[in-house]
Structure formats: C-alpha cells, structure tokens
Structure 1
Amino acid sequence: MKHLPLLLLLVIFAACQGSGTKTGQSDSAAVNSPSDTASGVTYSGTLPCADCEGIVTELTLQKQPDDRFTLKETYQGKNQTFNSEGVYTIVHGTPADPAATVIHLNPNKDKNLQRYYQQVNENELLLLDSDQKTIQSGRNYTLKKVL
C-alpha cells in the first residue's frame, strides 16, 4: 500500500506521455482544448460554389478516440448534400507561413479527397487549396467555430 501513490503518479505520467502530439503536429487550442476533446469541435460556414449559391459546410473534429472528422456539405439551390468522414492530422507550416497550423483531412487518401484548413485563430478555419496556399479570391473561405 505504501507504493500506491507512486504507482498512481506513474500511471498519470504514462497517460500524459501517451496523449502527446505526433511528429509534425501541433497542440492547437482549437482542436485540443479539454472542453472540445470528448464531443469534438464543430466549425460551420457557407463556402463559395462555382455553380450554386454556396456550400453550407459543417466540419466536426474529434480528438478521441482517434483524430477523426465528419464533413457535411450542402449545395444551396441544388438540394444535394455530401457527407464524408475520415482521419485528420495537424501539421505545421504552409508555403506562405512556416508557423501556420493546418488541419489536413484524409492525409492517406487520394489527393482529390484531401482538404486543408488553416487555423486562423481558436474560433476560425480558412480553407486552403490543394497546394496548401490561400485561395486568391475576394470571397469568404472561412468556417467559424460553433459555440
């Protein structure tokens, strides 16, 4: 019994070590804050569309048990909704900003199924193009955190 406090301390330490981030990942507050890890964090907004009124987009990131996402895209005026899910990684750097934090959806799938969102701040993500560059347009490519 006298070793129980030490054993508990070792278990807590081991659990903390196992929850660290992977190489090339950040500990971004928007993705990893304690209140967000259990239920996930959701970002929402209407992104531009080439042949419709806009794409109502809802992205949910869940840290536990694995880094998983769900993405719902509804094309306005077309009555089409596309749902997808998979894994994501958090990586540092873009061609324009080496300090940027980027959420990379479907990193192990075909390039056409991958998406990149740069974390602007704790409450906002910016959709990047397939080369992880800012989309040059006067249109809004941001998703806001749903509170």
Structure 2
Amino acid sequence: MTCHINHDCESNAAHTWNARIHRHTVHAIRDIDVGEEITLSYVRLLTKRKPRQTRYKTCYGFICFCRVGSLPDEQSKERDLSLKQIVSLEDLFDAECRTNPLEALGYVDAETPIYSELGRECESAWVHGCAVTITIAYGDLARARVFVERAVTISGR
C-alpha cells in the first residue's frame, strides 16, 4: 500500500498510477539493500530545503530529519544551488525545444552530471526521455536511439 511508505528526501522508490490495473505501483529507483526500508519522497526532488520543510510540516505534520533534511546549512545551500541549476536548465530546455532543438539537447547534457552529483542519476532518465521526443519530432532517429539507450541504461541502474 503506497500510503504506508515513509518519506525520505533521497527516496529509493517512486510511485506511479497504473491505469491498466487501476492502482499505484511502486518501483525501485536504485538498488535497495536487504533490510533497508522502502521510501518515497513526498515532494518533488527539485524543491529547495525551506519550502520542502514547510510542506512536510503543513501538509504531513512532521519535520524531516532524513540525511538530506538534516544537512548542515552550508551543505543544504550547495544542494539548493544544484537544484536551482537543474530548474534553470529545464526552463531553458522548455524555451528552446521547439525553436532551437540542438541547444535544448545541450541542456539535457548539462543536467545529467548535476543529477549525478546529487546521487539521483535515475532522475536524468526522464530528461533523456524528453530528448527522445524532440529528436523523433525532428526526424533525427539516430540521435533518438542514443538518448533511448542512455535513458534505459540510467533506468536500469
């Protein structure tokens, strides 16, 4: 039952609605050690610390003390800066994907190492999926194949 899975800012699982079976399904997004609790993040990964903590308190009635939630201020600020960089790159990607697709694809490449620094390589699979859509739309099937392979490789980690 998805509603009984605890929160962690660095969750090891994600949930999605499966319309075929009309249920939430939970999928591991990284290897989970024997005895390790399965966790979900209750907010979007790209949410900075202060709004994240506010949401936990107001919506869920708790203060997050997970590893990320209790980082020292300096480390939290560094993490928030990385999150801000990803959001900026996503905004640029959205702005350029129709008019300048090659520029937009460069933003995908720029996001990937930031996700890696955050230990969230799996999140960049979605970004590579967006790149697949663009490359197919512009008829660049060879490049689309490369992005599909990257997304699959990342998802399989």
Tell me which interval the TM-score lies in, with the shorter structure as reference length. under 0.3
TM normalised by structure 1 equals: 0.22
Report the structure, 1 or 2, having the larger helix content: 2
Name the structure where strand makes up a greater proportion of residues.
Answer: 1
Structure ID, larger Rg: 1
Higher relative contact order (Cα pairs below 8 Å, separated by 6+ residues): 1
Calculate the TM-score normalised by the size of structure 2. 0.21
